[in-house]
Amino acid sequence: MLGTAAMMLKLYRTTERVTEYWEAWEDTPTRVIVHWGKIGEKGDSRKVSVKSGTRPSGIIKREAEPLRAAGFKTRRPEEHAQIVIQYKLEGWGSGKDHDRRVQVENLMNECLGWTGLGHCDGGDIGSGTMNVFCDVVDAAVAALIVVSDLRENGQLEGAVIAARERNGDDEYKVLWPEGFAGTFDLL
């Protein structure tokens, strides 16, 4: 989704329990991509050419003006939720496990980005688990999209998906699989 982006702007608006997104980024020095829709849906996009003497950041700001006037705003990092995709491993994990983690991270950047939900924030591996961390605007909607995308790409088996509770503690609530009876811990 995002190549060599020098600038990206994401805006959101929630009305009547529907959250909409609008985002724009510099795809190349001569092109800006504008993408919009309802979170959890692929939405629409269009390309805007950057004419000589114009900066992509200026195009993005100009494109955002009517959205801001319509109530779209940026969200602070603390307004995002965190979901974790975890897989149990043997020991510290292998090179193959690392490759799988990178593949899942890339899948999450694509599926969360193109549905306006967020992005992958990296991962870790070792001590018997592999974790992929994602910052999202809505954990419940993101979990549905993540499960679907992992299933479609053959990566759902063995996955446990949990969301960080917003109670100030580092407690997680398992969202997948339904009826999960184990314990979830990052360490």
pLDDT tens, 90-127? 888 889 999 999 999 999 999 999 999 999 999 999 88
Confidence of residue 187 (pLDDT cuts 50, 70, 90): confident
Cβ atoms 83, 161 nearer than 8 A:
yes
Among the listed residues 60, 61, 21, 63, the one whose alpha carbon sits nearest the alpha carbon of residue 42 = 21
Cβ atoms 136, 111 nearer than 8 A:
no
What's the pTM value of the predicted model, to 2 decimals?
0.88
Q: What is the pLDDT of residue 57?
A: 92
Q: Is 115 exposed, middle or buried (0-12, 13-18, 19+ CB in 10 A)?
A: buried
pLDDT tens, 25-38? 999 889 999 999 99
- Domains annotated for the chain, with CATH where assigned, are 8-69 (2.20.140), 79-176 (3.30.70.1430)
Determine which of 44-58, 96-110, 129-143, 162-176 has the lowest per-residue pLDDT on average: 162-176
Confidence of residue 7 (pLDDT cuts 50, 70, 90): confident
